[in-house]
Amino acid sequence: MPKWAGYALKVKNRTIYMLVGIMLFITGFYLFDEWYRYEKHLQILRQEHISIVTKFYENIPRRTTAILKAYANLIANDNQVINAYAEGNREVLNDQLKPYVVLLEKSFPGSTVVLTFHTSGGKVFLRTLDPKKFGDKSTDYRPMLKTVLKTEKPLSGLEVCTKLVGQRFMTPLKSDGKVIGVIEVGADLNFVAQRVAGISNIKSVITVNRDVAKLLSMKTDGLDQTVYFNNSKVPMGLMLNGGNLKDSVNTADGRYEIVKGFKLYDYSGKNVGSFIFISKSGGMEEWMQSHFYNVLIICAAGLLLIIYVARKGFIDSIAELEKEHETVLKELKEINTGLEERIRKEVENCRTKDQIINQQQKIADMGLMLSALAHHWRQPINAVGLYVQDLSEAYKSGELNIQYIEEFEKKNMNLLNKLSESIDKYRTFFEPSVEKESFEVIDILREIGEILSATLATQNIKLMVSCKCSQKEFECIFLERMPECEFGNTRITGFLNEFKQTLLNIIYNSVDAIKTRYAEENGSSDGLIMVNIGVEGEIIRIIVTDNGTGIPDDVIDKIFNPFFTTKEAGKGTGIGLYMAKTVIEKYMCGTLSARNNGRGVTMEITLHKSAQCL
């Protein structure tokens, strides 16, 4: 097999695998989306069921009480009914109450309704449910009736009696201000389940506690809860897991979701059982399973079709790709042949450009230094001139003697030595640093201050310095009073002369900004340059703040670009801050940033004591 054919076969197989993978991913994503929407639908359906049963459970007792109260008041205001009761005629009273019983049964369909008259002594006078049974003293087992007779006030709520658990309303009958009996109207609690089932597919299970079950003569089978009503066909035992309700139950009849369970409390607030709402799951699971199978079959057929088409026509395509591949390789070889030379030339051009920029910056800095040197020398030279003039006057006045000459020589030699020292200092200022060295930031700032002292004094600009080392902060106005930081806290390692030039450029920019501001305001200068040196662990921050003109907000992000300047034409090169940022960030692993402070500009240098850079 030719080499290219083997390569083509590998590419073909990879492509087939890739297509199969894509198809499987699309299939998986589609199935996941269908499953997610299915779960979302079930969640929404469950929330709807919970909302339905919650509203019913909260509102039906109140509405039921209102209906029962209306019937009780209607009966209490029926003179024929009251007369029959007052006369003690049960048969007539029973006949008079039959229309009300019919209305109650229509109001609570499918449930047992109760309409009973009790005497003031607590005995049953008439049960419409069983007219032949009367005379028993119901207050012995009906605490709700006992409470009504005692308080002589209407009372409603859930009550358990010997036959059923139901919602009751009792109201006392009075004649001449005395209670002559009690009217009781009620309905079995299962009417709530009947009402919910009538408007939805939600079924109900009503359970009662063990003591309530005994009162109702129900078998408990040793369980704490006994089923009082169940229209869901789900055994109570399947609903519980360690005494708690499960989320769902699987039975032979299908899957049921436990929607919500409520505690049942009687009129006195005593827990008597639970009301559980159950919903049978629809055909969503079956539909989803069938839908998944259909999707899998379609995807499998699609995969087989893709593999067949890919294998049928892939060899020709691979041959064309191989030819194109050879052409591209040939072109790449030709490009790579001259690429190295072009890269070398571009690197050389970049180095040349950087050297030119660096040289331009040095020339500009030398101009600044010559200006500072002129200011620095002017005072000593003037002093020498005055001493020379005084020599002639001393000769004429006869004061010229050996003591005068020695004093004259001492003063002038001191001035000349200072000039010589400044020459040595300026001579090495612009020499490039060959290697990194350790130095104190405070010492560099003092040296620059001495260089610029004459210039600053001429422009009436004050240079204030504050240095914070550890928890101590020192402030001074005159550089000769500048404090030393203890234990070398401001000592860093870097290129000394380049760092000096950077600080000089930044302070000179502040001087120019202050001069420009006061020239525009036509006022006397009260220029101020604040330098704050702070040490935080391994971090040294040098913050230079002035009260000059500031920088327009729309160009402040450009001031570190090469050849960009905010000064007038001929007064700035636009490379000072560019070189400063290069030195700080490229060669000293720090950062240099600028911001307006409302009155002028703040330049911030951040350095790391132990950073390793170029």
Query: pLDDT per residue over 133-183, tens digit each?
Result: 888 888 888 889 899 999 999 999 988 887 888 889 999 998 888 999 999
**Dihedral of alpha carbons 339, 343, 349, 350, sign:** positive
Question: What CA–CA distance (Å, rounded) separates 587 from 594?
Answer: 19
pLDDT at 184 over 90: yes
- CA dist 162 → 138, 212, 276, 439 (Å): 10, 9, 23, 101
Whole-number average pLDDT of the chain: 76
Task: Report which of residues 608 and 333 the model is more confident about.
Answer: 608
Q: Which of 10-24, 108-122, 125-139, 528-542 has the lowest mean pLDDT?
A: 10-24
- When pLDDT is cut at 50, 70 and 90, the band that residue 4 belongs to is very low
pLDDT digits (tens, 9 = 90+) for 366-385: 555 555 555 555 556 665 66
The Cα 358–Cα 218 span in angstroms is 104
Q: What is the pLDDT of residues 437-494, one digit of tens each?
A: 888 888 788 777 777 777 777 778 888 887 765 555 555 444 444 455 544 577 888 8
**Nearest in space to 459 (alpha carbons), one of 370, 365, 526:** 526
Domain boundaries, the chain: 1-282, 432-608
Q: What pLDDT does 477 receive?
A: 42
Paired tokens of 359: 């040289």
CA dihedral 541, 542, 547, 549 (to 10 degrees): -90
SS3 state of residue 157 = strand
> What does the pLDDT look like over 200-244, one tens digit per residue?
677 888 888 888 888 888 887 777 788 888 887 777 777 776 667
> What is the topology classification, in CATH, of domain 1-282?
Beta-Lactamase (3.30.450)
State pLDDT tens for residues 281-308. 655 555 565 666 777 787 777 767 766 7
Average pLDDT over residues 571-577: 65
Q: Give me the helices (H) in 108-243, please.
A: 143-151, 190-199, 210-215, 236-239
Give residue 429's pLDDT: 53
pLDDT at 256 over 60: yes
Cα 614 from Cα 601, distance rounded (Å): 30
pLDDT at 583: 82
Q: Which has more confidence, 340 or 216?
A: 216
What number is the average pLDDT over the span 70-76? 90
pLDDT of residue 422: 59
Is the whole model's pTM more than 0.75, yes or no?
no
Superfamily of domain 432-608: Histidine kinase-like ATPase, C-terminal domain (3.30.565.10)
Across 335-357, average pLDDT: 68
C-alpha–C-alpha distance, residues 153 and 155, integer Å: 6
* Maximal CA-CA distance, the chain: 161
Mean local confidence (pLDDT), 188-193: 82
Q: What is the rounded average pLDDT of the residues 522-543?
A: 81
